[in-house]
């Protein structure tokens, strides 16, 4: 049994992988460390053969995970790094290590999942948009602040009071709180639409749109195109890497 662990900027997702293991996605807020409730869950597990890790959450949480893994199981985690070409996917970046390992794994999973060009949108603390052709060539991507970061940056830089509100279904709002809430949702959805249309021209046919990340469901209703929600996309990519390496 292996543990597959996806450490994002805010959340840690994990599952067990191996013969006889059920693929169950678990999510915990990490806050730069390993939460006590997660530690309690891991203490009840049989010792894993390997811990395979995707980490964009920083060195503090990586160090905390390493300490926990050594204490519980006498093992050190294997941290994955982006490769220029793997699983049929070829990264557009000249320096692959500068391309987030979570984005790389998401593309590997998306390419295995669909035989057509696809736009992969990961909406978390940051929102990333990556364009992939059917042959596995990555065209590049864009990054924006995520929903909450976009709202916080606006509120911190203005005198607009913090008003909790659900985003409006319409592309405009009639009060300040809903305007801020809806603006963050529709900004991300509008960029997804623009990139989707450009990818359709580049690919010569309609691409697919894959959503992942903690806030993916928040932007989904605002999208103009049909989309597929894959909450464990990064972990699916990790599974591909592990199985191909074996």
Residue predicted with more confidence, 173 or 135? 135
Tokens representing 210 are 């894959």
Catalytic site includes residue 102: yes
Residue predicted with more confidence, 19 or 107? 107
* Domain range annotation of the chain: 2-79, 92-239
**What does the pLDDT read at residue 166?**
56
Q: pLDDT tens digit string along 120-154?
A: 999 999 999 999 999 999 999 999 999 999 988 88
- Residues marked as binding for K(+)? 122
Tokens representing 172 are 């405009």
Instruction: Considering the candidates 19, 102, 130, 246, report the single residue annotated as catalytic.
Output: 102
CA distance 77 to 151: 35
pTM, to two decimals: 0.93
Choice among 9-13, 89-93, 171-175 with the minimum mean pLDDT: 171-175
Q: Residue 163 above 80 pLDDT?
A: no
Q: Residue 216 above 90 pLDDT?
A: yes
Tokens representing 191 are 């960029």
Q: pLDDT tens digit string along 58-74?
A: 999 999 999 999 999 99
**What does the pLDDT read at residue 175?**
78
Indicate if 92-239 has the same CATH topology as 2-79: yes
Tokens representing 16 are 């067990």
- Residues marked as binding? 6-13, 93, 100-103, 122, 125, 176
Query: Which residue has tokens 């959450």?
Result: 57
* Domain over 2-79 is classified CATH 3.30.1370.10: no
**What does the pLDDT read at residue 160?**
75
Alpha-carbon distances of 158 from 153, 164, 180, rounded to whole Å:
9, 16, 12
Q: Residue 50 above 60 pLDDT?
A: yes
**What does the pLDDT read at residue 19?**
86
**What does the pLDDT read at residue 157?**
81
CA distance 19 to 187: 43
- Residues marked as binding for substrate? 93, 100-103, 176
Alpha-carbon distances of 184 from 71, 114, 165, rounded to whole Å:
42, 29, 12
Q: What integer best gives the mean pLDDT of the chain?
A: 92
CATH topology of domain 92-239: Nucleotidyltransferase; domain 5 (3.30.420)
By CB neighbour count within 10 A (0-12 exposed, 13-18 middle, 19+ buried), where does 155 fall?
middle
**What does the pLDDT read at residue 176?**
79
Question: How many CA atoms, within 13 angstroms, populate the side-chain half-sphere of residue 116?
Answer: 14
Residue predicted with more confidence, 115 or 29? 29
Q: Residue 167 above 70 pLDDT?
A: no
């Amino acid at each position: 049994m292996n543990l597959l662990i996806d450490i994002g900027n805010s959340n840690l997702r994990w599952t067990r992988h191996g013969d006889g293991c059920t693929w169950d996605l678990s999510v915990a807020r990490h806050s730069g460390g390993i939460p006590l409730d997660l530690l309690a869950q891991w203490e009840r597990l049989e010792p894993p053969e390997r811990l395979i890790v995707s980490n964009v959450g920083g060195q503090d949480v990586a160090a905390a995970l390493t300490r926990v893994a050594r204490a519980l199981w006498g093992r050190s985690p294997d941290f994955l790094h982006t490769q220029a070409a793997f699983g049929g996917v070829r990264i557009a970046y000249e320096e692959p290590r500068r391309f987030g390992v979570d984005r790389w794994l998401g593309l590997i999973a998306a390419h295995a999942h669909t035989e057509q060009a696809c736009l992969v949108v990961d909406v978390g603390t940051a929102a990333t948009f990556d364009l992939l052709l059917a042959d596995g060539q990555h065209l590049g991507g864009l990054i924006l602040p995520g929903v909450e970061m976009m709202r916080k940056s606006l509120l911190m830089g203005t005198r607009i009071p913090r008003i909790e509100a659900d985003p409006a279904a319409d592309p405009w709002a009639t009060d300040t709180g809903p305007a801020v809430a809806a603006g963050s949702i529709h900004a991300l959805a509008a960029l997804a639409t623009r990139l989707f249309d450009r990818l359709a021209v580049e690919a010569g046919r309609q691409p697919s749109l894959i959503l992942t990340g903690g806030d993916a469901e928040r932007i989904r209703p605002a999208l103009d195109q049909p989309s597929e929600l894959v909450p464990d996309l990064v972990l699916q990519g990790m599974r591909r890497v592990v199985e191909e390496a074996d």
